[in-house]
Structure 1
């Protein structure tokens, strides 16, 4: 299991947690996260089908790869296309079970923030897992060490791109790594 916890220094009571378990199944396992009866009663199960073409606001905000997985076929693995019912027809198949817990205990906007973040996470999971399948020919056959190196390179490249946000006129930017300086610039 892998767990990610995100907190925001400006909203000290806010918490977002994502727990991930990968299983070699078609998504029909019950309670893989070992939740209590109380937790199961409040849990909402959302099935995300990477072959789905349904998009919403968050899909457009995050960006889409424009790969139609119902037509895509991997040259190296001969996997695909993903047609309706692919979860029960394809072999091998793996499911990423994600338990997303968001607590934004703020009167007036907490519930809306939680719902917006859940929608954004869903779109992010959908797009990233679509890309993982669509890019299979680029990573298939790599060792775990090679995959970790690819992750580091991707993180570094992304951090370089996101490290500075250009102003509207493009003359200067904000350093995302220095929040105190940014607050002074924004005030």
Structure 2
């Protein structure tokens, strides 16, 4: 059965400010080029490779050889709308999509993705509080910055701390609506794989958005050159945790063309 879950990540930032932040998503970039179409308008297309052999759950390695746990992601980034499609060449029927819409609200919009009645009936919704912490398998794998946002206050903007009910009180505020759709039609382990990947995406969303705000004093008001340098650092740090190759090294060509917003 196809799993469809919408994560709503409320942020004490405007949509415009989120567009300028650096990313924590680190992968090998195979292709990176501008695109334009009738759905998203103008944006940036990327083809990326994830290598998950060393971090996959033990039960999954029983169903596939290590070299099969390589994922390919195509992404169409036309902020404030983005779409990612993840496939696995070994499991040819597997597909994961993430549709993201950013809005200047506090997570109360009910159908930003324009779903049908049938889709709304199966969609699950979870609002992620970036001030919360989670200790599970995927949060351990992804790692944690150990920033306590319930105590943190930005020196440059005065925003924070994020105490109970902060989503309805802060200004500015915006929400990343991330619709995760997973289909792994494999008898015996498909449902378990779908559940594991939803949990993994949730952990990644939480940590990346926590860092996005927790590091605000490092990026707020910086030039694009400085932002790119921070992007390199965060990319390298996360890749070391995940056992992936760094997406950006000292490659001037990639540095010039890469434009991936974080949140």
Q: TM-score, normalised by structure 2?
A: 0.57
Q: 1:26 to 1:65 in 2, by over 3 A?
A: same
Greater relative contact order (Cα 8 A, min sep 6): structure 1 or 2?
Answer: 2
The change in CA–CA distance for 1:45 and 1:138 in structure 2 (over 3 A counts) is same
Describe the superposition over 1:134-161 as per-residue Cα deviations: whole angstroms up to 9, x where unpaired.
0001111135x44773476358746985
Deviations 1:80-132 (A, max 9, x none): 00000000011111111000011101011000000000011101101110010
Consecutive aligned runs of 4 or more in structure 1 exceeding 6 Å deviation: none
Which residue does the alignment assign to 1:163?
245
Specify the structure having the higher radius of gyration (Cα).
1
Q: In the alignment, does 2:235 pair up with 1:153? A: no
What is aligned with 1:42? 122
2:167 to 56, 74, 87: 87
5+ residue gaps, structure 2, are 1-80, 247-263
**1:115-134 matches, cutoff 5 A:** 115-134=195-214
> Aligned pairs, how many?
163
Supply the RMSD in Å over aligned alpha carbons: 2.2
More helix per residue: 1
Superposition TM-score, scaled by structure 1 size:
0.80
Residues in 1 aligned to 2:160 and 2:216: alpha-carbon distance in whole angstroms: 11
SS state of the match for residue 13, structure 1? coil
Task: Quickly say closer, same or farther: Cα 1:154–1:6, change in 2 above 3 A.
Answer: farther
- Contact 2:142 2:238 (C-alpha < 8 Å) held by counterparts: no
How far is 1:32 from its partner? 0.4
Kindly tell me: are residues 127 and 12 of structure 1, through their superposed partners in 2, closer, same or farther at Cα, counting changes over 3 Å? Answer: same
Structure 1 unmatched ranges of 5 or more: 165-187
Q: Does 1:21 align with 2:98?
A: no
